[in-house]
Amino acid sequence: MTQPDEYQMGLSSRKAIYIPFPQAVPCSYILDMEHCLGNNPIACGKCQDVCEKQAINYDDADEVITREVGAIIVAIGLDVYDPTEMDEYGYTRYDNVITSMEFERLICAGGPTAGHFVRPGDSQRPKRIGFVQCVGSRNPKIGRPWCSNICCMNTVKDTLLLADHYPDVENVVYYQDIRAFGKSFEDMFQRSKEAGTRYVRGLPGDVEENPTNGNLLVTVENTTSGKLERHELDMLVLSVGVEPPKDLAKISGLLTLSKTSDGFLMESHPKLKPVDAPTRGVYFAGFCESPKDIKDSVCQAGAAASRAGALLNAGKITIEAITSQIDAESCTKCGVCARVCPYGAIQWKKGEVAVVIEAACAGCGACGAACQFGSITMRHFTDAQLVAQVRAIMAEKPKEKVMVFACNWCSYAGGDMAGISRIQYPATNRVMRTMCSARVSEDMVLEAFRVGAPIVLVSGCHYADCHYINANRQTVQRVQRLWNKLEKAGVRPERLQLEWISAAEGQKFAQVMKQMEELRQTVTDEEIAHAMEALKPKPKKKPKPKAEPAAAAAP
């Protein structure tokens, strides 16, 4: 049984029982159960026969190991760009077009050719080798606008290796810009040029293969001379970019992490907390935060370890005093708060007063907004405080303002990002911060309309990114109920808006604020006056509201 060897980029093969590579840690054989025939002992089972130590167990199963930890470092690395979609370079059509990762294996003494650098097409040593930079980087047309950071210097290194191994080699590098900014990088770049490497400013527009000898004909506009050039090469290396790892979505979901617009992990602050996640106790190291080379990865790993170590050394953490408190006297024992708590931090049994387990409460405020009886106090974000803020904001000229409720972690931070990026939008919005959008109660929204707000926006984290597990599902349900209420009261439901804006989406925050302002201008004085009247709180109903159906039927 043989399979393509993943470590060698498929340039050689391995068996179904193998050591991934000679320096592997741990350096022991593994079974590829997908292709092992021993799973069915009648078909094979040879490795078990010859293993004297009887170390092979075809029936071994995965095991779940549980560990309690106080700090987490996310270092999940990167994926390498697959250039298949960039068909103009002929990667899938021509044997002698390879990626920079395949180059690494071909030039490595531990590689499939024992370090003899040959063309995959005919096993001949190439003399004229071209390198194309920015394949899958700095290319907004294919949705990859970021610089991958490492490819320029990796190519400079490759040209030096080739010149060192084969003095007669003729290297040519096609580039947009050479970014040789690090310590001793410029020196390496100059050495590459001194070794005879030609650097042509311009990316190839077309690559064709000569079918008789497998050579490649590259057409490129040299943007320095302004002339079209045609080069015949023996081999073309695509200097492929990098991208956020596919596993990132899963990990960021587990740890409630945010991503920047290019999909890498979003740090707590770009300058002041570059290795901290917004979630306390979680830190970043390496590529998953942004493209960086080995030295920078090692530096960041040291910083992350230092931050995590400080937390572990302290041995304790203070919890912000924003937790929920239940007033046992007014609690009606309904249990709604326990049902909406994403953390199971409220204990309740039928017929009993609900009790908050403070250490488990994260302070989202979903319970506070859901309690119909005012029995829950969210410390530092009380109903009275938040309603007072709404009233203060709308005290003068309310019709000129858009009332915005923004959650601390995403939407409010998205507003901060718009500020940091200096993205302009109309000055008519008034943002109020709550920890979670689920903290915004029906009454807070209605109060904003009662005091004359033309538009109210409730904004929170994207659905899967909620920092309180899934508290923002309560937000959705509440806003839907409010839309129904507004419609029944003859208030245009569009006057209440719901938007998800992440911490990285400064652009979206500004865009939403522009939309809100456009919407605000459609609201008439009559509409505002009607809402102020129609949404007035009804006098408290009598304990037994038997007359209600009749009242509802009245004209």
Q: How far is the CB of 189 from another protein (least distance, A)?
A: 10
Tokens of 466: 């909620």
Task: Between 28 and 123, name the residue whose CB sits nearer to another protein.
Answer: 28
CB-based contacts of 26: which residues, under 8 Å, 6+ apart?
none
Q: How far is the CB of 197 from another protein (least distance, A)?
A: 14
Decide if residue 114 touches another protein (CB under 8 A): no
Instruction: Among 1, 11, 75, 534, indicate the residue that binds another protein (CB under 8 A).
Output: 75
Q: How far is the CB of 554 from another protein (least distance, A)?
A: 31
Task: Between 218 and 407, name the residue whose CB sits nearer to another protein.
Answer: 407
DSSP 331-343: -----HHHHH-TT
| DSSP run (H or E) holding 236 | strand 235-240
Per the document, the length of the chain is: 555
| DSSP run (H or E) holding 355 | strand 355-356
Tokens of 143: 């949705």
Q: How far is the CB of 36 from another protein (least distance, A)?
A: 14
**Cβ–Cβ under 8 Å, residues 74 and 248:** no
Decide if residue 453 touches another protein (CB under 8 A): no
Residues 155-214 that bind another protein (CB under 8 A): 156-157, 160-161, 182-185, 188
Instruction: Among 24, 51, 464, 547, indicate the residue that binds another protein (CB under 8 A).
Output: 24
Task: Between 285 and 340, name the residue whose CB sits nearer to another protein.
Answer: 285
Task: Between 354 and 418, name the residue whose CB sits nearer to another protein.
Answer: 418
Instruction: Among 11, 101, 469, 489, indicate the residue that binds another protein (CB under 8 A).
Output: 101
Q: How far is the CB of 316 from another protein (least distance, A)?
A: 5
Stretch that binds another protein, among 83-91, 406-414, 526-534, 538-546 (CB under 8 A): 406-414
Task: Between 221 and 358, name the residue whose CB sits nearer to another protein.
Answer: 358
Q: How far apart are CA 162 and CA 127, in angstroms?
A: 10
Task: Between 216 and 304, name the residue whose CB sits nearer to another protein.
Answer: 304
Decide if residue 45 touches another protein (CB under 8 A): no
Using left for φ > 0, alpha for ψ between -120 and 50, and beta otherwise, residue 115 falls in left
> Which SS3 state, helix, strand or coil, does residue 88 take?
helix
Task: Between 174 and 412, name the residue whose CB sits nearer to another protein.
Answer: 412
Decide if residue 391 touches another protein (CB under 8 A): yes
Task: Between 255 and 336, name the residue whose CB sits nearer to another protein.
Answer: 255
| Torsion sign over Cα 223, 224, 229, 231 | negative
Q: How far is the CB of 224 from another protein (least distance, A)?
A: 25
In the chain, the largest separation of any two C-alpha atoms, in whole Å, equals 99
Task: Between 386 and 438, name the residue whose CB sits nearer to another protein.
Answer: 386
Q: How far is the CB of 211 from another protein (least distance, A)?
A: 31
User: Which is nearest to 251 in space by CA: 465, 413, 462, 69?
Assistant: 465
Q: How far apart are CA 358 and CA 325, in angstroms?
A: 8
> Which SS3 state, helix, strand or coil, does residue 221 take?
strand
Beta strands in 450-545 (DSSP E): 455-460, 496-500
Per-residue burial over 260-291, b = 16 or more CB atoms within 10 Å of its CB, e = otherwise: beebbbbbbeeeeebbbbbbebbbbbbbbbbb
Stretch that binds another protein, among 56-64, 81-89, 104-112, 205-213 (CB under 8 A): 104-112
Q: How far apart are CA 533 and CA 446, in angstroms?
A: 11
Stretch that binds another protein, among 50-58, 222-230, 385-393, 482-490 (CB under 8 A): 385-393
243: β partners:
79
Backbone angles phi, psi at 222, to 5 degrees: -75, 105
| DSSP run (H or E) holding 295 | helix 294-314
> Which SS3 state, helix, strand or coil, does residue 243 take?
strand
Stretch that binds another protein, among 33-41, 86-94, 150-158, 344-352 (CB under 8 A): 150-158
Number of residues that bind another protein (CB under 8 A): 111
Task: Between 413 and 446, name the residue whose CB sits nearer to another protein.
Answer: 413
Residues 517-546 that bind another protein (CB under 8 A): none
Task: Between 44 and 301, name the residue whose CB sits nearer to another protein.
Answer: 301
Decide if residue 64 touches another protein (CB under 8 A): no
Decide if residue 386 touches another protein (CB under 8 A): yes
Residues 293-352 that bind another protein (CB under 8 A): 293-294, 297-298, 300-302, 304-306, 308-309, 311-312, 314-321, 323
Instruction: Among 42, 50, 61, 359, indicate the residue that binds another protein (CB under 8 A).
Output: 359
Residue that the structure tokens 């900014």 belong to: 181
Q: What is the DSSP letter of 269?
A: B
**Cβ–Cβ under 8 Å, residues 260 and 277:** no
17: β partners:
31
| DSSP run (H or E) holding 174 | strand 170-175
Decide if residue 420 touches another protein (CB under 8 A): yes
Instruction: Among 393, 444, 479, 486, indicate the residue that binds another protein (CB under 8 A).
Output: 393
Q: What is the DSSP letter of 87?
A: G
Instruction: Among 52, 53, 59, 67, indicate the residue that binds another protein (CB under 8 A).
Output: 67
Decide if residue 23 touches another protein (CB under 8 A): yes
Pairing of strands 128-135, 235-240: parallel
Residues 232-291 that bind another protein (CB under 8 A): 247, 251, 269, 272, 281, 285-288
Q: How far apart are CA 232 and CA 210, in angstroms?
A: 9
Decide if residue 385 touches another protein (CB under 8 A): yes
Q: How far is the CB of 339 from another protein (least distance, A)?
A: 25
Task: Between 69 and 554, name the residue whose CB sits nearer to another protein.
Answer: 69
Q: Mask 362-381, x = binds another protein (CB under 8 A)?
A: -----------------xx-
Task: Between 317 and 553, name the residue whose CB sits nearer to another protein.
Answer: 317
CA 479 from centre of chain: 27
Decide if residue 461 touches another protein (CB under 8 A): no
